[in-house]
């Protein structure tokens, strides 16, 4: 097994673990939404028109859950495509990396590293010097 294959395999395993973490975060937010709503309601009791702020809170919380679920699904797809070493699914890996960049420190770490690996591999193929004749 080449070193590049081992790196792709390890990266694929990390993406699968990140997918599990993303889906667990989405489930945690979903099941704790009543408590989060009460806490947010306590914060906005003294603002003018708190109902608008509560509506925006619900829109944002649903967006956070949706982003976590979509990021988790793309993370699983990226992990399995990296484990299979499929070159045709590079766009899935890039999409998962970009979604992960939106989700906090762990997502930024794995997303940036994966983008560097993906772009470096593409750049090396595109700008390879021709062989001397």
CA distance 39 to 93: 37
For residue 133, pLDDT beyond 60: no
Segments making up each domain of the chain, as ranges: 3-124
Tens of pLDDT along 3-52? 556 778 888 999 999 999 999 999 999 999 999 999 999 989 888 888 99
**Collapsed DSSP state (helix, strand, coil) of residue 20:** helix
Kindly tell me if the per-residue pLDDT of 89 is higher than 80: no
| Separation CA 25–CA 65 (nearest Å) | 8
What's the average model confidence in pLDDT over 105-115? 93
| Furthest CA-CA distance within the chain | 78
Residue 1 confidence (pLDDT): 44
- Which pLDDT band holds residue 90 (cuts at 50, 70, 90)? confident
pLDDT tens readout for residues 41-86: 998 988 888 899 999 999 999 999 999 999 999 999 999 998 886 6
Q: What single-letter DSSP state applies at residue 133? A: -
| Local confidence band at 122 (pLDDT 50, 70, 90 cut-offs) | low
Give the Cα separation of 72 and 76 in Å (integer): 6
């Amino acid at each position: 097994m080449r070193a590049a294959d081992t790196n792709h395999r390890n990266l694929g395993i990390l993406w699968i673990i990140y997918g599990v973490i993303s889906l667990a975060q989405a489930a945690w937010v979903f099941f704790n939404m009543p408590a989060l709503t009460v806490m947010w309601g306590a914060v906005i009791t003294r603002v003018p028109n708190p109902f608008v702020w509560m509506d925006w809170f619900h829109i944002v919380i649903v967006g956070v859950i949706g982003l976590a679920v979509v990021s988790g699904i793309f993370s699983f797809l990226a992990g399995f495509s990296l484990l299979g070493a499929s070159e045709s699914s590079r766009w899935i890996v890039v999409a998962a990396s970009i979604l992960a960049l939106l989700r906090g420190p762990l997502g930024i770490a794995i997303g940036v590293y994966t983008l560097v690996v993906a772009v470096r591999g593409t750049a090396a193929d595109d700008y390879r010097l021709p062989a001397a004749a």
